[in-house]
Protein backbone atom coordinates (compact mmCIF):
# COMPACT_ATOMS: atom_id res chain seq x y z
CA UNK A 1 0.00 0.00 0.00
CA UNK A 2 1.79 3.09 -1.26
CA UNK A 3 -0.84 5.65 -0.31
CA UNK A 4 -2.40 8.34 -2.47
CA UNK A 5 0.06 10.01 -4.82
CA UNK A 6 -0.26 13.26 -6.75
CA UNK A 7 1.74 14.68 -9.59
CA UNK A 8 3.19 17.23 -9.93
CA UNK A 9 3.77 18.41 -6.38
CA UNK A 10 4.28 22.00 -7.48
CA UNK A 11 3.18 23.83 -10.60
CA UNK A 12 3.88 27.44 -11.57
CA UNK A 13 2.01 28.68 -14.59
CA UNK A 14 1.18 31.94 -16.27
CA UNK A 15 -2.32 33.30 -16.28
CA UNK A 16 -4.28 31.96 -19.21
CA UNK A 17 -2.41 28.68 -19.51
CA UNK A 18 -3.99 25.27 -19.03
CA UNK A 19 -2.77 22.89 -16.34
CA UNK A 20 -3.49 19.24 -15.57
CA UNK A 21 -2.95 17.40 -12.32
CA UNK A 22 -2.93 13.67 -11.74
CA UNK A 23 -4.01 11.64 -8.71
CA UNK A 24 -3.35 7.94 -8.15
CA UNK A 25 -5.55 6.57 -5.35
CA UNK A 26 -4.88 3.65 -3.05
CA UNK A 27 -5.36 0.67 -5.33
CA UNK A 28 -8.42 -0.97 -3.78
CA UNK A 29 -10.29 2.31 -3.19
CA UNK A 30 -13.33 2.87 -5.40
CA UNK A 31 -13.98 6.50 -4.46
CA UNK A 32 -11.77 9.44 -5.38
CA UNK A 33 -12.19 13.04 -4.29
CA UNK A 34 -10.75 16.42 -5.25
CA UNK A 35 -10.54 19.35 -2.83
CA UNK A 36 -9.04 22.82 -3.02
CA UNK A 37 -7.31 24.44 -0.07
CA UNK A 38 -6.22 28.05 0.15
CA UNK A 39 -3.75 29.29 2.74
CA UNK A 40 -5.05 29.12 6.28
CA UNK A 41 -8.39 27.58 5.29
CA UNK A 42 -9.94 24.16 5.43
CA UNK A 43 -10.20 22.14 2.22
CA UNK A 44 -13.24 22.80 0.02
CA UNK A 45 -14.86 19.99 -1.91
CA UNK A 46 -14.67 20.13 -5.70
CA UNK A 47 -15.87 16.78 -7.04
CA UNK A 48 -15.85 13.04 -6.47
CA UNK A 49 -15.99 9.78 -8.37
CA UNK A 50 -17.21 6.33 -7.54
CA UNK A 51 -15.31 4.08 -9.91
CA UNK A 52 -15.45 6.00 -13.20
CA UNK A 53 -18.72 7.82 -12.50
CA UNK A 54 -18.56 11.45 -11.40
CA UNK A 55 -21.24 11.58 -8.72
CA UNK A 56 -21.08 15.15 -7.45
CA UNK A 57 -19.61 18.47 -8.52
CA UNK A 58 -19.36 21.58 -6.40
CA UNK A 59 -20.54 24.95 -7.62
CA UNK A 60 -16.90 25.95 -7.08
CA UNK A 61 -16.08 23.84 -10.12
CA UNK A 62 -16.57 26.39 -12.88
CA UNK A 63 -16.68 25.57 -16.58
CA UNK A 64 -12.91 26.01 -16.68
CA UNK A 65 -12.45 22.97 -14.45
CA UNK A 66 -12.90 19.40 -15.59
CA UNK A 67 -12.12 16.11 -13.90
CA UNK A 68 -11.99 12.59 -15.25
CA UNK A 69 -11.43 9.10 -13.96
CA UNK A 70 -11.55 7.14 -17.20
CA UNK A 71 -10.98 3.59 -15.99
CA UNK A 72 -11.90 3.98 -12.36
CA UNK A 73 -8.26 4.14 -11.34
CA UNK A 74 -6.26 7.38 -11.57
CA UNK A 75 -7.93 10.75 -12.03
CA UNK A 76 -6.98 14.00 -13.70
CA UNK A 77 -8.08 17.53 -12.88
CA UNK A 78 -7.68 20.10 -15.64
CA UNK A 79 -7.95 23.84 -15.26
CA UNK A 80 -8.27 25.80 -18.47
CA UNK A 81 -7.37 29.48 -18.86
CA UNK A 82 -5.96 29.72 -15.36
CA UNK A 83 -6.60 32.81 -13.27
CA UNK A 84 -4.69 34.15 -10.28
CA UNK A 85 -7.58 33.12 -8.05
CA UNK A 86 -6.90 29.50 -8.96
CA UNK A 87 -3.69 29.61 -6.94
CA UNK A 88 -4.20 27.02 -4.19
CA UNK A 89 -3.30 23.56 -3.00
CA UNK A 90 -5.28 20.88 -4.85
CA UNK A 91 -5.79 17.81 -2.71
CA UNK A 92 -6.85 14.36 -3.79
CA UNK A 93 -8.27 11.73 -1.44
CA UNK A 94 -9.52 8.19 -1.86
CA UNK A 95 -11.69 5.83 0.15
CA UNK A 96 -13.29 2.43 0.22
CA UNK A 97 -15.66 3.09 3.12
CA UNK A 98 -16.15 6.43 4.78
CA UNK A 99 -12.55 7.17 5.81
CA UNK A 100 -10.79 9.35 3.27
CA UNK A 101 -7.02 9.20 2.85
CA UNK A 102 -5.31 12.23 1.41
CA UNK A 103 -2.40 12.67 -0.94
CA UNK A 104 0.33 15.28 -0.51
CA UNK A 105 -1.39 17.77 -2.81
CA UNK A 106 -0.38 19.81 -5.84
CA UNK A 107 0.45 23.43 -5.10
CA UNK A 108 -0.54 25.66 -8.02
CA UNK A 109 0.81 29.17 -8.39
CA UNK A 110 -0.61 31.31 -11.17
CA UNK A 111 1.54 34.33 -12.02
Q: Where along the sequence are the contacts to another protein (CB under 8 A)?
A: 31, 33, 35, 40-45, 48, 55-56, 58, 91, 93, 95, 97-105
Whichever of 26 and 80 has its CB closer to another protein, that residue is 26
Other Cβ atoms within 10 Å of 6 Cβ, number: 19
Whichever of 50 and 73 has its CB closer to another protein, that residue is 50
φ, ψ for residue 85, nearest 5 deg: -70, -10
Looking only at Cα atoms, what is the longest distance across the chain? 39
Whichever of 5 and 73 has its CB closer to another protein, that residue is 5
The CB-of-104 to another protein minimum distance in angstroms stands at 5
Radius of gyration for the chain, computed over Cα atoms and rounded to the nearest angstrom: 13
Amino acid sequence: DTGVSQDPRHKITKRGQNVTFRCDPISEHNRLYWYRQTLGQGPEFLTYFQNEAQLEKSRLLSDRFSAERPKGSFSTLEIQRTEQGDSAMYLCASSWGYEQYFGPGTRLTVT
